[in-house]
């Protein structure tokens, strides 16, 4: 685990399936029994859920029906694409701004001392307080939503990149300089490779925060995307539809979290191999 993960990261995503000792052994049996328990719970929900007031709850077969409805009418696809578009744009700007700013803050002590505290404050304080101001300034538009996703995601990246630059091994930089590397070469050959793991950690956090920011933005800044679809459904007490949207969000969250983990592992890989060396 890199220092940055210790300092401000979430615990790594637990493996979906713990390693089995032997295939077909007791591990497989517990896996099957877990599966059976979930199947039973879902079946019981489907049987008893029908008797519950539909304005208050729903049940699996109704949720599947609602999923079909939403998929056929195209509402789900539109919402999903809208959400992913906003998230993608926000994360793109995050990358474009977060890397250079984080680098500058980590590299130049003066900038760090001047703007570091601000970055830390914006990193730890709840960003959601700025939502009403964004609405005031940029209206109920995609621009507001993109800016909010950006605000949610950019500070973890800045924070981690700056942390990475600060912890570049000084002797590596000195060796490069001793061999006559100029500032740009040192950055290219020493600094950049050694902050890659930190970029991985930062990017993973940025993705997770960006997704939370997206949902918050879609709740508050006009009703749009998946968050909007969810709010519309629950305002009409269509809980079956609400559950569909939540399940889609679970899937999106899962894919993004895996992508983040993968990125973290890939960018952090040379560190581990160097250690073994």
Interaction of residue 135 with other proteins, rule CB under 8 A? yes
User: For other proteins, which stretch binds (CB under 8 A), given 26-34, 141-149, 173-181, 182-190?
Assistant: 26-34
132 scored as a contact of other proteins (CB under 8 A): yes
Cα–Cα separations (whole angstroms), residue 176 to 167, 169, 185: 16, 11, 8
Tokens at 172, concatenated: 């590596």
Minimum CB separation from other proteins for residue 6, in Å?
8
* Residue in the structure block whose two tokens are 């899962």: 254
Q: At its nearest, how many Å lie between other proteins and the CB of residue 188?
A: 30
Q: Which stretches of the chain are DSSP H helices?
A: 3-8, 26-49, 60-73, 75-107, 109-124, 131-138, 142-166, 170-178, 183-186, 192-220, 225-235, 239-267, 269-276
Rounded-to-integer distance, Cα 212 and Cα 246, Å: 13
Q: Could you tell me the end-to-end alpha-carbon distance of the chain, in angstroms, rounded to an integer?
A: 17
Return the residue of 76, 98, 119, 127 that touches other proteins, per CB under 8 A.
127
Contacting residue, 44, 52, 108, 114, with other proteins by CB under 8 A = 114
Closest to other proteins by CB, 99 vs 202, is 202
Instruction: Tell me: does residue 53 bind other proteins (CB under 8 A).
Output: no
Is-contact 203 263, C-beta < 8 A? yes
How many chain residues bind other proteins (CB under 8 A)? 58
| Binding footprint of other proteins on the chain (CB under 8 A) | 6, 10-14, 16, 18, 30-31, 34, 37-38, 55-56, 110, 113-114, 120-121, 124-133, 135-137, 208, 211-212, 214-216, 219-220, 227, 230-231, 233-235, 237, 239, 242, 245-246, 249-250, 253-254, 256-257
């Amino acid at each position: 685990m890199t220092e940055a993960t210790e300092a401000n990261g979430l615990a790594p995503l637990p493996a979906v399936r713990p390693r089995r000792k032997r295939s077909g052994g007791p591990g497989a049996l517990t896996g099957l029994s877990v599966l059976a328990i979930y199947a039973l719970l879902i079946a019981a929900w489907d049987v008893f859920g029908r008797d519950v007031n539909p304005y208050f709850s729903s049940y699996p077969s109704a949720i599947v029906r609602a999923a079909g409805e939403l998929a056929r009418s195209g509402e789900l696809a539109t919402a999903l694409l809208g959400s992913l578009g906003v998230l993608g744009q926000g994360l793109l700007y995050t990358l474009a701004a977060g890397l250079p700013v984080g680098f500058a803050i980590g590299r130049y002590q003066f900038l760090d001392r001047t703007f570091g505290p601000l970055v830390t404050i914006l990193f730890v304080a709840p960003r959601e307080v700025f939502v009403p101001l964004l609405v005031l300034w940029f209206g109920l538009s995609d621009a507001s939503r993109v800016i909010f996703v950006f605000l949610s995601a950019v500070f973890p990246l800045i924070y981690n990149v700056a942390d990475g630059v600060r912890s570049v091994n000084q002797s590596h930089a000195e060796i490069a300089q001793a061999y006559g590397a100029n500032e740009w070469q040192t950055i290219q050959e020493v600094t950049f490779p050694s902050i890659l793991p930190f970029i991985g950690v930062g990017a993973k956090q940025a993705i997770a925060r960006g997704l939370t920011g997206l949902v918050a933005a879609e709740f508050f800044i006009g009703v749009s995307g998946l968050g909007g679809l969810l709010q519309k459904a629950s305002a009409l007490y269509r809980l079956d539809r609400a559950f569909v949207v939540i399940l889609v969000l679970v899937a999106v969250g899962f894919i993004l979290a895996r992508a983040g983990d993968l990125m973290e592992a890939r960018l952090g890989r040379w560190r581990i191999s160097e250690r073994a060396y």
